Structure 1
Amino acid sequence: MPEGPFGDMIKLGQKIFNHTPKYAPKYVGNSLSCANCHLDAGRLADSAPLWAAYPAYPAYRSKNKKVNSYQERLQGCFMYSMNGKAPPLNSDVLLALESYSYFLAKGAPVGDEKMAGRGFPKLAAPAESPDLTRGQKVYEASCALCHGSDGQGRTVNGQVVFPPLWGKNSYNWGAGMHSVSTAASFIHANMPFGMPKTLTEQQAWDVAAYINSRPRPQDPRFTGSVEETRAKFHPNTKYDYYGQTIDGKQLGNPANTPPAGTVPK
């Protein structure tokens, strides 16, 4: 890394990326860090690495229907994946993360949408529809050892070593990972940790469906109506469980859904 103020900013970005609740506490509302989904400190291919993400912006995003800068994309991560609130543009938090991303992306081609290793390798549609019962069995056999039988992760000496996958301390209903197709792609390419691609594609689909059929924090775009929010932001009912009733409870209903944006005061 370079010396001087820019090097210091890069190092701060790396710290924020790896331990987000510790170094950006005003903007994080759960137990997740950026590195939980972007593995090896954002460097691992097929785990949405920063070196492939940074050169992809500015870009239009259908999620908010506008062209986003890289910092605006990062703001979305805090709102949804971190169940927090967006740091202001050009704040030290976003400048540090942008600097770290720039450092990792040096030499990468700009705007190459087919760059090898970018994003999560998209899986083909499953041979069979994702099944929650099969998914639970995959979870118990291949995921529970690290993430807990209750999906709440593992903490050692106050440090989250394996992140929670559902519940109040996980990503909310607006995060990209809540989509079964996105989660299945991530899981197949990267999980179990240290044993990527040992699950079949069908197993990845099934366990992604199981994980994303559990309660999690509210979508920050919640309109006050589960049905309206589902129709407006969750139209893909095939791979999105928001608003569906599982185990007798409607997912997204405020009666059994933790709030969005639970940033500690």
Structure 2
Amino acid sequence: MTRSGFCGFKLIVVFASAVVISTLLAFAPSGAAPPSPVKDIAVWNIPAFDALPDDENGRLARYGRTIIAATYAHIGPAAVNPAARYAGNNLACTNCHLRGGLKKFALPLVTASADYPAYSARTNASISIFDRVNQCLMRSMNGRPMAEQDRPMQAILAYLRVLSTNIPVGGTIIGAGAGAMPELDRAADPGRGAAIYARTCADCHRPDGSGVRRNVALPEMGYAVPPLWGQDSFNTGAGTARLITLANFVHDNMPNGTSWVAPTLVPEDAWDVAAFVLSQPRPQLAGIDRDFPNLLLKPVDAGYPPYADSFSLEQHRYGPFAPIRAEITRLKEVRGEVPNPNIR
């Protein structure tokens, strides 16, 4: 398929729209209302950062790009300035948001600034893009929140604003998120995933999941290949600590160099290897049991209690998820909401 020129783009948009519509229909509950109309799809039109004016905004945006690429060096736990040590591990934002947030189905950041303010089910409140960045710092980076006026935060926000320059508020893009491959009708199998990890992942991420440091003696240099578990990895509250997100990310992006256009792993293998990774130890986020004031809005694959339904922790971690969704739908009709008992 051609991927250049207006005609090629038009074909891709039509195809992607059809996929979105068919997916919504396939997963809609029986008797549910028709899906909402598909939003207008915005063209990826990213300004050239190196061509931005040499003014405060241009300098901030370029600094933000640097922080996204080398987070560990600027705000990591071994950063030169102790007051700027906001991240609790030596990962980089680009370890999850590949190519600085510019790769399709690799958790792109292209619409991030345009998407907020937005309602957050996790907090039951409207949050800003500043709040969302701090959530990443505390969860994916296992760190602490940064003040909005701090220069690194201002730089990150400037970078995100530039990425969203040509995205309308509420607009969507082809390639958002991590993808949506078919789910298994069984539980994902960490044991089977261990063999897949050894065969396809261990050469880069190491057999013990510790990744590859650029310089063992200088942690502020970060990783050439990020760790997938252990104390320098993302904590239990991160988005990638949920199976659906991680499995789709793996399917569309791993091993390194893979593209959603030609995935290396079949879906079954991606589900199982993601389950293996998430079965390994990682930092625990304090207070995580107070996430989601209305438990009926909690993602079905959130791997920590409490839950509104009666399904086990094991099934919430590894699936299958269809029975959980059906029960949540029933509870919404009967009860409307289920308050989190840990929030007083």
TM-score of the aligned structures, taking structure 1 as reference length = 0.83
Counterpart-to-counterpart distance in 2, 1:88 and 1:22: 19
| Structure 1 residue 222: Cα displacement | 4.8
Change (3 A) 1:233 1:5: farther
Does residue 24 of the first structure (1) align with residue 83 of the second (2)? no
CA contact (8 A) 1:188 1:198 kept: yes
Larger radius of gyration, structure 1 or 2?
Answer: 2
Tell me the secondary structure at the aligned position of residue 50 of structure 1. Answer: coil
Equivalent runs, 1:1-265 vs 2, <5 Å? 1-25=52-76, 26-112=85-171, 114-157=172-215, 158=218, 159=221, 160-196=223-259, 197-222=263-288, 230-232=304-306, 237=313, 238-240=315-317
Aligned residue type for 2:272: D
Change (3 A) 1:8 1:233: farther
Counterpart-to-counterpart distance in 2, 1:211 and 1:14: 29
Unaligned runs of at least 5 residues, structure 1: 242-265
CA contact (8 A) 2:289 2:305 kept: no
The structure, 1 or 2, with the larger RCO (C-alpha pairs under 8 Å, 6+ apart) is 1
124-133 or 164-173, which deviates more:
124-133
Q: How many residues align?
A: 236
Deviations, residues 25-65 of structure 1 (Å, cap 9, x unaligned)? 31111121100000011111111211122211111111121
Unaligned runs of at least 5 residues, structure 2: 1-51, 77-84, 291-302, 319-344
CA contact (8 A) 2:289 2:304 kept: no
Counterpart-to-counterpart distance in 1, 2:135 and 2:265: 30
Deviations, residues 55-86 of structure 1 (Å, cap 9, x unaligned)? 11111111121111001000000000000001
Tell me the secondary structure at the aligned position of residue 217 of structure 1. Answer: coil
28-37 or 86-95, which deviates more:
86-95
Match of 2:294 in 1: none
92-101 or 209-218, which deviates more:
92-101
CA contact (8 A) 1:9 1:96 kept: yes
Deviations, residues 119-152 of structure 1 (Å, cap 9, x unaligned)? 1112321143211111011111111111110000
Tell me the secondary structure at the aligned position of residue 229 of structure 2. Answer: coil
CA RMSD of aligned residues (A): 2.1
